[in-house]
């Protein structure tokens, strides 16, 4: 599951990760795209990029649309039996409630790995404006990616990494830019975590 | 302070008086997102995400804005050489802070200035 605040770079990340898994690793990948808005945008983008995408929009799968999530996961398991199911949560979601739904009702799931992308470029501002949501997302991650480091100061990156360690000591934090792809060390660490 | 999110979505077909190049269309959509970002920013950032998807036939482009003054565009390979007569524009604005009618008024006001 890929979580993180609105506009943190989740879709960009998924595009690169799914591309790598399909092309380099020859894995079957299906993506569930959840958007809070009534119009799907990321699902259309990823579908046009050639990926298998199931969209759930008009609400959040962590609260209003848990039934739709269960239905989608189970239909995908039955029809496609993918090696990877990548779920992009909305930027307002709290991962723990989605994890609960998946663990209770999801079929065919061997392992769930939760990745949170934190927006380093807006870290200082968002930590002041809405710390509760930002910190809750990080607290529930197996791995945190400090994204958009190309837009951030060194002090913002250090502040994010320190806070993430404080909130969630078990999660590794990896800095990345993401705009030009996922750097090889990040990808390697990500797959190590996911297969652990 | 506990802030609530507001989501406003619109889908419109643009009808420019003459065909637009990809660069011209990109400029129109980017300016739309920048205007929305100016109106919705707090402490110099958008406390949410403003994004758009534009297409007509095969070519497509996705636009994303999280800070005033900066729009990130990802487009298909055939985008830059294309000409657009009636492109469809999907817009999603999800932000924390302002009331729904405030965001709707801003979005609809900005969209009204586009050729439709």
Q: Which of A37, A46, A124, A181 to mutate to test the interface with B (most CBs of B within 10 A)?
A: A37
CA neighbor of B99 nearest in space, from B91, B89, B107: B107
| Closest residue in B to A46 (Cα–Cα) | B62
Say how many C-beta atoms besides its own lie within 10 A of residue B116's C-beta.
11
pTM value surpassing 0.90: yes
Close Cβ partners of A72 (under 8 Å, ≥ 6 residues apart): A32, A54, A56
A162 touches chain B (CB under 8 A): no
Instruction: Note whether B53 contacts A41, CB cutoff 8 Å.
Output: yes
A50 touches chain B (CB under 8 A): no
A6 touches chain B (CB under 8 A): yes
Query: What confidence score (pLDDT) does residue A117 get?
Result: 97
Do the bridges between strand B20-21 and strand B83-84 make them parallel or antiparallel, or are there none, so unpaired? antiparallel
Question: What are the structural domain ranges in chain A?
Answer: 2-195
The share of chain A scoring above pLDDT 70, in percent, equals 100
Instruction: Report the gap between the CA of A190 and the closest CA in chain B (Å).
Output: 24
| pLDDT tens, residue by residue, A82-91 | 999 999 999 9
Q: Which CATH class is domain A2-195?
A: alpha beta
Instruction: Note whether B9 contacts A125, CB cutoff 8 Å.
Output: no
* CATH topology classification for B5-98: Hypothetical Protein Yjia; Chain: A;domain 2 (3.30.1220)
| pLDDT tens, residue by residue, B74-91 | 999 999 999 999 999 999
Q: Kindly provide the ipTM of the predicted complex, given to two decimals.
A: 0.94
């Amino acid at each position: 599951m890929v979580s993180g605040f609105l506009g943190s770079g989740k879709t960009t990340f998924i595009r690169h990760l799914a591309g790598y898994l399909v092309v380099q690793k020859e894995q079957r990948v299906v993506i569930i795209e959840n958007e809070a808005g009534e119009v799907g945008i990321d699902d259309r983008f990823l579908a046009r990029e050639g990926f298998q995408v199931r969209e759930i929009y008009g609400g959040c799968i962590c609260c209003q649309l848990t039934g739709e999530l269960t239905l989608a996961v189970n239909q995908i398991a039955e029809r496609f039996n993918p090696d990877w199911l990548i779920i992009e949560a909305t930027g307002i979601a709290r991962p723990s409630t989605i994890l609960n739904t998946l663990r209770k009702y999801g079929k065919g799931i061997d392992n769930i790995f939760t990745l949170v992308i934190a927006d380093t470029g807006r870290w200082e501002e968002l930590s002041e404006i809405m710390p509760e949501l930002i910190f809750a997302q990080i607290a529930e991650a197996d791995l945190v990616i400090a994204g958009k480091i190309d837009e951030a100061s060194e002090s913002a990156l250090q502040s994010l990494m320190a806070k993430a360690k404080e909130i969630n000591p078990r999660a590794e934090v990896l800095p990345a830019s993401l705009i030009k792809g996922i750097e090889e060390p990040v990808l390697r660490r990500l797959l190590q975590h996911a297969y652990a | 302070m506990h802030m609530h999110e507001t989501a406003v979505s619109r889908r419109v077909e643009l009808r420019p008086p003459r065909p637009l190049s990809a660069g011209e269309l990109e400029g129109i959509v980017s300016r739309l997102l920048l205007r929305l970002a100016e109106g919705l920013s707090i402490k110099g950032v958008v406390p949410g995400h403003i994004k758009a998807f534009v297409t007509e036939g095969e070519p497509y482009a996705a636009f994303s804005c999280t800070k005033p003054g900066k729009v990130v565009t990802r487009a298909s390979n055939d985008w830059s050489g294309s000409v657009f007569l009636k492109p469809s524009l999907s817009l999603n604005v999800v932000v924390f802070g302002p009331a729904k009618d405030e965001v709707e008024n801003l979005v609809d006001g900005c969209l009204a200035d586009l050729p439709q």
